Amino acid sequence: MDAISVIRAKRDRHPLTEDQIDWIIDAYTAGTVADEQMSALAMAIFLNGMSRAEIARWTAAMIGSGERMDFSSLPRPTADKHSTGGVGDKITLPLAPLVAACGAAVPQLSGRGLGHTGGTLDKLEAIPGWQAALSNARMMDVLREVGSVICAAGDGLAPADKRLYALRDVTGTVEALPLIASSIMSKKIAEGTDSLVLDVKAGSGAFMKTAEDARELATTMVELGADHGVRTVALLTDMSTPLGRTAGNALEVRESVEVLAGGGPSDVVELTLALAREMLAGAGLPDADPARALADGRAMDVWRRMITAQGGDPDAPLPTAREQHVLTAPSSGVLTRLDAYAVGLCAWRLGAGRARKEDPVQPGAGVELHAKPGDLVVEGAPLLTLHTDTPNALGYAEAALEGAYEVGTADDFTATPLLLGRVGA
């Protein structure tokens, strides 16, 4: 078999055979298929799509390129969650210990931010001493001792996806739905959990801009889970405005701790509980009450033990940025719009994110929201606070917010529900 014949098949809108898919993934992982050849195939997939059978086989081949984890020795059922990414999306931080407090084991393998979306590992690394890199043995120990762990995925997990993801990022094929779905699901299925809950976001700050596109992606991923024997459900959630009142690493950790303490923004609490209930149902614990575990302190106890088990100090002060710049409301009225993408871009320019995966991030940088859409604001009162260690970035960051928010009357505002739908197995 050769790469050119595989490229031509997809270019000419023929379905790829199982043998073709297995060969191209194996050969690309081994380095015998060149990047430019895989780029051509990725573009052909972007333009012509893939059938359900093709996507399932492509995903299986990527899983087969590396190891598959096994949690069957744990005394608890396992549940995992994946978000397609957004602005202010700190849900994993309170969610993992909350679900563990209710009786499931949560092996949460997470990633870093790129561009305007934040990364869970970047947020947690704002905690002094906390370590993202754990061996498989240490991860199992933490799961047995604590019930939840949030850490980086090892290099042995779907290595084909690691190469292909980097290639898609520089060839204009990131948006190819079959490649998005197989990228996410190959890693999640290889993790080996009993059930998976997906948070598929729609809106300006999300990867999928419309609810229709988000539903198509969610359906594809739920089908992939079913095809590989993993109980998978997806919640469709709004990302037209940021989640919570912060976007930035230490800022979001602080807000997550507020949620674990029984407070925090209502939208963060709502989504945390909705995802927790789905994860617990998937783990065979439908009668567990995550709201009570937040209220009675059990989730906070698991959080503190989890952070400590990974070298962090849950009592240490979180980093703060050296510079703060306050933007005030231009007029009095109701905040009718606050664009998620613009806030994420602003936080990135302030130093909270990275343009390349090798770039460092500023733990204290980000954006603090003093109002959310639907709130009353007063002319001259604080609307947003920008946090950064690099004051010369403030002008560039503030420019990202031009036209990003509007103040009007109550009649001008229509609330968008946080939960837009559900896709079940």
pLDDT, one tens digit for every residue, the chain (425 residues): 899 999 999 999 999 999 999 999 999 999 999 999 999 999 999 999 999 999 999 999 999 999 999 999 999 999 999 999 899 999 999 999 999 999 999 999 988 876 778 789 999 999 999 999 999 999 999 999 999 999 998 888 899 988 898 888 788 888 899 999 999 999 999 998 989 999 999 999 998 999 999 999 999 999 999 988 999 999 999 999 999 999 999 999 999 999 999 999 999 999 999 999 999 999 999 999 999 999 999 999 999 999 999 999 999 999 999 999 999 999 999 999 999 999 999 999 999 988 776 788 999 999 999 999 999 999 999 999 999 999 999 999 999 999 999 999 999 999 999 999 999 96
Specify whether the backbone of 183 is left (phi greater than 0), alpha (psi in -120 to 50) or beta. Answer: alpha
Task: Check: CB of residue 111 under 8 Å from CB of residue 153.
Answer: yes
Confirm whether 187 is a catalytic residue: yes
CATH number for the segment(s) 79-309: 3.40.1030.10
Biggest distance spanned by C-alpha atoms of the chain: 68
Given the residues 83, 183, 204, 256, the one annotated as active site: 183
Given the residues 57, 116, 163, 168, the one annotated as active site: 168
SS3 327: strand
Given the residues 80, 89, 122, 161, the one annotated as active site: 161
Q: What is the pLDDT of residue 425?
A: 67
Domain boundaries, the chain: 3-49, 79-309, 323-412
Confirm whether 183 is a catalytic residue: yes
SS3 418: coil
Given the residues 90, 123, 187, 245, the one annotated as active site: 187
Which CATH architecture fits 3-49? Up-down Bundle (1.20)
Q: What is the pLDDT of residue 165?
A: 83
Tell me the CATH class for 323-412. alpha beta
The H or E element containing residue 39 is helix 35-48
Contacts (Cβ under 8 Å, ≥6 apart) of 36: none
Given the residues 82, 163, 245, 305, the one annotated as active site: 82
Q: What is the pLDDT of residue 1?
A: 87
Which stretches within 90-237 are classed as H helix? 92-101, 120-124, 136-145, 159-169, 177-191, 211-227
Confirm whether 168 is a catalytic residue: yes
Confirm whether 161 is a catalytic residue: yes
Question: CB count, 10 Å around CB of 279?
Answer: 29
**Model's pTM, two decimal places?**
0.94
- Residue 80 has which token pair? 């995992």
Q: What is the pLDDT of residue 232?
A: 97
Whether the CA torsion 388, 303, 266, 215 is positive or negative: it is: positive
SS3 368: strand
What CA–CA distance (Å, rounded) separates 124 from 113? 12
Torsion of Cα atoms, 208 then 213 then 214 then 218, to 10°: -130
